[in-house]
Every structure is written in C-alpha cells, then in structure tokens.
Chain A
Amino acid sequence: GAGVSQSPSNKVTEKGKDVELRCDPISGHTALYWYRQRLGQGLEFLIYFQGNSAPDKSGLPSDRFSAERTGESVSTLTIQRTQQEDSAVYLCASSLVRDSTYEQYFGPGTRLTVT
C-alpha cells in the first residue's frame, strides 16, 4: 500500500509569513508524529497524535507552531510568523500502535526555507 505522503515537498517563504504543511499517514495507522530535521542534525520530536487522545505537544518549540489532525487521517502542521531558524526539513511519521509495536514509518518530508 501507499506510504506516508507529505506536501508540499519544498516550500520557500518570506520571513513573517504563515505556512501549512500537510501529512497523509499510512491508511489504518492510528498514531501520527511530526519531527523537524535541521541541517546536519538528528530528528527533533515536535508533536504526537494517537487516536482521540489529547496530542503530546511537548516538542513544539514555540507557540508559533501548531498542528491538527482530523480523526485518524490527515494532519496539518502550521507555523505562524515564520523565522529564518524555522528553515528545516519537516518530517511526518505514522505507526500502528498495537501489541507493543511502535515502528514509525516516515514520509519524504517538506523542505522549508525561510528567506
């Protein structure tokens, strides 16, 4: 079946503008995650959704960042008033949390450049 998809693949925006990044998880996967990968660095956790539970927002770096998920489907990560330090690859992952299986499968990412 199809993997995790993300759009757009690349986004260039001016400092101060808002951006929306989209993630379509693997069908049937109940959990969805957003990570950020800055140049030359490992992935940094941002937010986690599991079913109808309250999301774990502990990794969001500031209140300019927010995310939503509709049921167990699409998620949108929104960055308001973008700053140059927001430039990074934003990666989405999904997993089927069942029987203590926590394997996360990643999408190709959205490369965000803030000029």
Chain B
Amino acid sequence: QKEVEQDPGPLSVPEGAIVSLNCTYSNSAFQYFMWYRQYSRKGPELLMYTYSSGNKEDGRFTAQVDKSSKYISLFIRDSQPSDSATYLCAVMNTGFQKLVFGTGTRLLVSP
C-alpha cells in the first residue's frame, strides 16, 4: 500500500465549477499537509500548507485535513482555465524532513 493515495485523473470541469481534489494517507504520524500545483514542465509550486487537522483558506483555495479518517482535500472555487495543472498532495512527519507525495491529479478547466 502506498503511503499516500491520489486519483491521477484527469478531472475535467467547466470554468466556474467548484473543484474537489483528495488524498488519503496511511500513517497517522503525519502532521504536516501540503498541496502543490505543477504546470507542465515546471517545478511544483506550494499552494497550501496545513499543520494538523482543520481548514485553511487562501483566496479561491481551501485546504481541509481530517486526521481521524486520514483524508486531505483541496477545494478550488470559481475554477479558471489557468488552474489547469497537476495538483500534488504531500505529507510529512515532525522531525522527518522528507515529503511523501501522492502521484498527482491532473485538472483540466475548460473555458
């Protein structure tokens, strides 16, 4: 079993839709949760960073962590064609510096 599971997609939505991206993880010791956006042939760009459970909002983006079910989500409101990219979730233990990534979900937002 992979430490982090993520549906590879692609997920296709029309412009303006609300997008829900999700990951599950297996190790309850993970404390830090991140979402990265990666455009084609570019490095990952940090979007959201959350410690422990709860919600965090930044503009059109909301990150949600449910540690009881080991489930993390990223919501994108009013999606735009420029949001078309691969979204990677990542988790990390306290004291262990390496990020463990999901495989990424490819999102396509059509005008």
Residues of A at the B interface (CB closer than 8 Å) are 4, 31, 33, 35, 40-45, 48, 50, 56, 58-59, 91, 97, 100, 102-109, 111
Contact A59 B98 (CB under 8 A): yes
CB-defined contacts of B8 to chain A, threshold 8 Å: 40
Q: Would A42 and B46 count as touching, CB distance under 8 A?
A: no
The 6 closest A-B pairs by CB, nearest first: A42-B101, A106-B43, A45-B98, A42-B103, A43-B101, A108-B43
B40 to chain A minimum Cβ distance, whole angstroms, is 11
The CA-CA distance from A111 to B44 in the complex, in Å, is 14
Q: How many A-B residue pairs have CB under 8 A?
A: 59
Per-residue A-contact encoding for B71-97, CB less than 8 Å = 1, 0 else: 000000000000000001010101001
Structural contact, B44 and A91, CB atoms closer than 8 A: yes
The size bracket of the interface on B is 20 to 34
Q: Which residue of B lies closest to A59 (CB)?
A: B98
> B43 to chain A: which residues have CB within 8 Å?
4, 91, 106-109
Query: Could you say which of A40, A43, A56 contacts B44, with CB atoms under 8 Å apart?
Result: A43
Chain A residues positioned under 8 Å from B45 (CB to CB) = 106
A33 with B101: CB separation less than 8 A: no
Interface contact A31-B97, CB-CB below 8 Å: yes
Determine the chain A residues whose CB is within 8 A of the CB of B94 once the complex forms. 100
Whether the Cβ atoms of A43 and B46 lie closer than 8 Å is: no
A56→B93 CA distance, assembly (Å)? 14
A42 touches B98 (CB 8 A): no
